[in-house]
Chain A
Amino acid sequence: MFESISAVTNSAGYILGGVGVTLLLVGLSLFIGFICGIVLTLGQVYGPALVRRFVGVYVWFFRGLPNIVLLFLFYFALFPFMGFDMPAFGVAVTVLGLRSAAYQSQIFRGAIQSLSDGQMLAARSLGMTRWQAIRSIILPQSLRLSLPGWSNEYPVLLTDSSVAYVIGVAELLTRTSQVISRTGEPMILYLTCAVIFILLNYGGMMIIQYVEKKVRIPGFGNNEAECL
């Protein structure tokens, strides 16, 4: 028993360092997913037919494949084939980010489509260009409407990030496994790892809920958009 406790405490620093890597991985992927997701959505909603088709295929591809297959595909095949010498962490961020973009774009598209046509019409009637209307009317509104969907994206990415283990990214799970292979105690250490993930999960959710409350607008989002 004493051995197990000291095993945990001795390696605590190393494992906790993995928390940093995990959070960085999740944060960067969320960010890439957000930016690419917006671009995809705008392409899908406002773009010409060819762009819409491309976005459709992109979303189908990234939502149809398991993370692990995507990671293998990019790490062992695509990047080497294209001549990129990308470290495992970079591959993981790319894959998780591009995949998240597919999901985020669909959350976002739903929000844009739920806005009434009148918002765009009113903006254009004031002399705004299409792009101005998208930037100052459509995006701010649909971003707010997307928040509930997005608060889902964080826990999904957090739990998915552990899959980066298979290509050896030194995140929380990988480090836990490394420590276990030195000191044993798989049960205690993996449970600890699980608990850390759960804390990160619910801690993050609390922050997101706080932000959601902060950017709330009275009467916006919780009632159906009027479309007479």
Chain B
Amino acid sequence: MDNLTSTPVPSDGPIGFFQSMLDSIISQIPFWQDILLPALWDGLWVTMQLVIMTAPLGFLLGLLVAVSRVYGPAPVKWLAQLYVIFFRGCPLLVLLFILYFGLPSIGIVLGSFMSALVGFILCNSAYNSEYLRGALQSIKRGQLLAARSLGMTKAQGVLYVVVPQALRRALPGVSNEFIYLIKYSSLAYVVAVIELTGAAKIIASKYFMYFEAFAAVGIFYLVLVTITTFGVTWLEKKYAIPGVSGAAVKTEKGK
């Protein structure tokens, strides 16, 4: 805001301007090196912990909910449906507030990190369950019938025949959700977890370096998300079954 006063207009043309920009960048190096980046690395570690702990649990819980919705007896089905409606419809931020501020008022204290983790798992599982349900329902009835005809119980048929096929079909959705998870993990900041975003915010307000802090944390997220996207695409290709997923056929025509 105070650019005009803080950066004096150079009198000796473009070279001087360049010089003064360079100076101001060099003068910032200690700030980046000693303060901002170390804080962000610590934050990154917390973000990774949140994401890596949420992903498998959110997936398994999602699978449980999906199987309950498709194959469970009526009351279980309804319960699973209610679960999905609530945790998909409730903004994650509101959920985190319920866990962090609401639960203590009825005597359950989870703490910052736990509140975030539980919130993420509940939300992530609800979204995953929708992809998994769609995938389960897309497997032809004949598959389960064939399994039953071999003498498997319904549970065995679902577990050994239907679920493995469905998992491959749900992979694109689930891996998309994983990428969302990385981004939504930033909400943990609001319940006082000092992950990437939290770390950046603290430094930004402490040193009045808003632009630098948020630009830097933005780059962290972009790199994280981009690498993960590549990884996920690679995984999807590797585990594609010819003729099963929709991604198999390429029909792009040159213009």
Touching in the complex, A and B, CB below 8 A?
Answer: yes
Decide: A177 near B215, CB < 8 A? Known: A155-B89, A159-B92, A197-B90.
Answer: no
- Contact, CB under 8 Å: A77 / B94: no
Judge whether A88 is part of the interface by a CB distance below 8 angstroms.
Answer: no
Is B93 in contact with chain A by the CB < 8 A criterion? yes
Give chain A residues whose Cβ lies under 8 Å from the Cβ of B92: 159
B184 within 8 A of A: yes
**Whole-angstrom CA separation of A190 from B90 in the bound complex:** 10
A80 CA / B210 CA spacing, docked (Å): 10
Q: Of A133-141, A142-150, A160-168, which binds chain B?
A: A160-168
* Interface flag for A76 (CB, 8 Å): yes
Query: Is the C-beta of A21 less than 8 angstroms from some C-beta in chain B?
Result: no
Asked if B91 and A162 sit within 8 Å, CB to CB, the answer is yes
Contact B101 A180 (CB under 8 A): yes
A47 within 8 A of B: no
**A77–B210 contact, CB under 8 A?**
yes
**A83-B214 contact given A64-B226, A190-B94, CB 8 Å threshold:** no
CB 8 Å contact bits of A173-193 with B (1 = contact, 0 = none): 100010010001111001101
A194 contacts partner chain B, Cβ-Cβ < 8 Å = yes
A177 to B85, CA, bound (A): 23
Main SS at interface, chain A: helix
A198 is an interface residue with CB less than 8 A from chain B: yes
B225 / chain A contacts, CB cutoff of 8 Å: 63-65
Interface 0/1 of B206-243, CB less than 8 Å to A: 00001100110110011001100000000000000000
> Which residues on B sit within 8 Å (CB–CB) of A81?
1, 211
A183 to B97, CA, bound (A): 16
**Contact of B98 with A187 in the complex, beta carbons under 8 Å:** yes
Most chain B beta carbons < 10 A, residue from A60, A68, A166: A68
Instruction: List A residues 61-80 near B (Cβ within 8 Å).
Output: 61, 63-69, 72-73, 76-78, 80
- Interface residues contributed by chain B, number (CB under 8 Å): 41
Q: For the complex, is B27 an interface residue (Cβ under 8 Å from A)?
A: no
**A186 close to B101 (CB less than 8 A):** yes
Contacts of A180 in B (CB 8 A): 101
Tell me, yes or no, whether A202 is within 8 Å of chain B by CB: yes
Cross-chain contact B214 with A66 (CB below 8 angstroms): no
Contact of A65 among B94, B211, B222 (CB under 8 A): B222
- Decide if A65 touches B95 in the complex (CB within 8 Å): no
Residue of B88, B93, B95, B222 contacting most chain A CB atoms (<10 Å)? B93
Residues of B within 8 A of A60 (CB): 222, 226
Whether B183 sits at the interface, judged by CB under 8 Å, is yes
CA A162 to CA B98, docked complex, whole Å: 14
* A69 touches which of B106, B211, B218 (Cβ 8 Å): B218
Q: How far is the CA of A194 from the CA of B204 in the complex (A)?
A: 31
Q: List 18 A-B contacts (CB under 8 A).
A: A65-B183, A65-B222, A66-B197, A67-B183, A69-B218, A72-B200, A73-B215, A77-B214, A80-B210, A117-B253, A155-B88, A173-B93, A186-B104, A187-B102, A198-B85, A198-B90, A201-B88, A201-B89
* Chain A residues within 8 Å of B, Cβ to Cβ: 60-61, 63-69, 72-73, 76-78, 80-81, 83, 117, 155, 158-163, 165-166, 173, 177, 180, 184-187, 190-191, 193-194, 197-198, 201-202
